[in-house]
Chain A
Amino acid sequence: MSSAMLDLILQATLDTLYMVAISGVISTLLGVPLGVMLYVTRPRQILAMPVLNQVLSIVTNIGRSIPFIILMVAIIPFTRMLVGTSIGINAASVPLTIAAIPFVARLVEGALNELSPGLVEAAQSMGATPWQIVRKVLLPEARGGIITGLTITVVTLVSYSAMAGAVGGGGLGDLGIRYGYNRFNPTIMVITVVILVVMVQGFQSLGDYLVRKSDRK
């Protein structure tokens, strides 16, 4: 294989990691608070706001139900406004992030659901404010579940980022389609798939390790 080809593969790998990193970090920063809001604004919860809860829930469901490939195209104007272009890895990171936020939020909400309601009750009996309950009880106690959720998100982002090639996003998926499929180069196809598999394995192992470290049960 030519060194030009190797350069292409290396560049595509870095592009994929870049897109996953950007969208992973931003969707965590926005998705975790959204997930917490979905949980604490429920009826009979510490910040019960049923109307807001319904609105957030519906918005989240809409975000979760739009197929990624359609989302990518549909928000092109928004992407252009945000990063100035609709092609390339920066542009692809925008729909990836948008798709991942509600995903993260629901997984975080699920992790909080797993906690015993007694923990919140105990904290309330100690005179904890809602913010203290979130910071000192909910987030630390759900840490294992949240990391599991974020691991699932990152793995999903790796596969979604492959679709980003469809809008000129770059990355391994794009390389596999253009060189492997369109130019009939099965070697490239196999290499990209192998790299993706290794990448997913790596993220999963890292996530499992972090969950084990934070789990005291």
Chain B
Amino acid sequence: MIYLENISKTYGAGANTVHALQNVNLHIPQGRIHGVIGLSGAGKSTLIRCVNLLERPSTGKVSVDGQDMTALSPQALNKARHRIGMIFQHFNLLTTRTVFDNIALPLELMGETRSTIRQRVEPLLELVGLVDKANQYPAQLSGGQKQRVAIARALASKPNVLLCDEATSALDPQTTGSILELLRDINKKLGLTILLITHEMDVVKSICHRVSLISDGELVEDAEVGDFFTAPRTQLGREFLNDFLQLEPPKELIERLSPDAGTNTHPVVRLTFSGDAVSTPLISKLARECEVDVSILQAKVESIQDRTLGLMIAELLGTPQQTRDAMAYLESHQLQIEVLGHVQRNA
């Protein structure tokens, strides 16, 4: 549905050249929700604007629904844009129009008659749950309601594609949840292909099928969401994941951690289980087979789409040989194991 081929975008010239995007390749099949995640300034905004040509890429090809966007005349481009809805972080509603008239705007632009507009807008008001607000102005609405109006407006021209530019970044967590639910609903009901950009892992986790990680204008990782959350391939991916999971050892333990193993110390490890490993009683097996004791300091289980991800911070208690064996055993069972440090055994 959406193909980006070798997209690059540069601003300025000479020494002041800024490479906003470099050789970006992305394919999003029909009906999928694809997230692009990255820090601010990584090029997310530029990337999403290249799809509907709000930003024209310096080189490369953009194709949406089989149409080569970069080759279109201005008139044809406007027509193609009717098939690509877009919502924004700050909603961008017209303050002088009512909710109804905001949703009607794209249809007015297409030259639809008043009665067609009424027929299109009313079901959309229902879809986004704002029938009773039809005659209010945006200033009278909450942030979540404004984004609902923006979503209805983006859907008015019956697009195949919806672009979401940080659509939930200005909303509180609860409202974010309800907007994401609405987007997922739309994706299912209308088979809409959705490209969203965000800096929040929560958004990716809740609704995306696939995710790309962008850094300095380049896509550095592209994976199914389940894979990305269980085994990110890049350092940046791991940083995003750790921030998201927020599984750090207790503070008092960090103070006692030393990087080197000494006499009478025990390793503290972070274990990441995914797939089958989650449902296997590995810890009790470990205790039996390697004769080490496991002191669990912190643990949590996240479910990401059809995957389950288990995380644990634990201290392995045994002789140096026993703990080495234990780690080897865990690794052989597809666990990711990271030694955080060593602590002196409590007297």
Interface residues of A (CB under 8 A from B): 116, 118-119, 121-129, 132, 136-137, 140-141, 143, 214, 216-217
Contact = CB atoms under 8 A, between A and B. Distances in A.
Interface in B46-104: 52, 54, 77-82, 84-86, 88, 90, 92, 94-97
A140 B94 contact: yes
A121 B52 CA distance: 11
Contacts of A126: 81-82, 86, 105-106, 109, 153, 157
Contacts of A128: 78, 109
30 contacts: A118-B92, A119-B94, A121-B54, A121-B92, A123-B109, A124-B54, A125-B52, A125-B54, A125-B84, A125-B85, A125-B163, A126-B81, A126-B86, A126-B153, A126-B157, A127-B78, A127-B80, A127-B81, A127-B106, A127-B109, A128-B78, A129-B78, A140-B94, A141-B95, A143-B96, A216-B96, A216-B137, A216-B138, A216-B139, A217-B139
A122 B96 contact: no
Contacts of B110: 127
Contacts of A140: 94, 96-97
A28 to B, nearest CB: 19
Among A124, A129, A136, max chain B CB count under 10 A is at A124
B293 interface: no
B77 to A, nearest CB: 8
Contact of A122 (B78, B92, B95): B92
B97 to A, nearest CB: 8
B103 to A, nearest CB: 11
B92 A132 contact: no
Contacts of A143: 96
A216 to B, nearest CB: 4
B124 to A, nearest CB: 14
Contacts of B84: 125
Q: Taking chain A's interface residues, is the majority helix, strand, or loop, or is none over half, making it mixed?
A: helix
B155 to A, nearest CB: 11
A122 B86 contact: yes
Contacts of B138: 216
Contacts of B94: 119, 137, 140-141
B291 interface: no
Nearest to B137: A216
A122 B88 contact: yes
Given A127-B81, A127-B157, 17 more contacts: A118-B90, A119-B94, A121-B54, A121-B92, A124-B54, A125-B84, A126-B105, A126-B109, A127-B79, A127-B109, A136-B108, A136-B109, A140-B94, A216-B95, A216-B96, A216-B137, A217-B95
Contacts of B96: 140-141, 143, 214, 216
A200 B330 CA distance: 86
Given A122-B88, A127-B79, A127-B81, A132 B109 contact: yes
B92 A116 contact: yes
B88 A118 contact: yes
Contacts of B88: 118, 121-122
A137 B157 CA distance: 18
Contacts of A217: 95, 139
A134 to B, nearest CB: 12
Contact of B81 (A116, A125, A141): A125
Contacts of B108: 136
A127 B84 CA distance: 9
Interface string B120-142: 00000000000000000111000
Among B78, B82, B96, B157, max chain A CB count under 10 A is at B96
Given A127-B106, A217-B139, A119 B82 contact: no
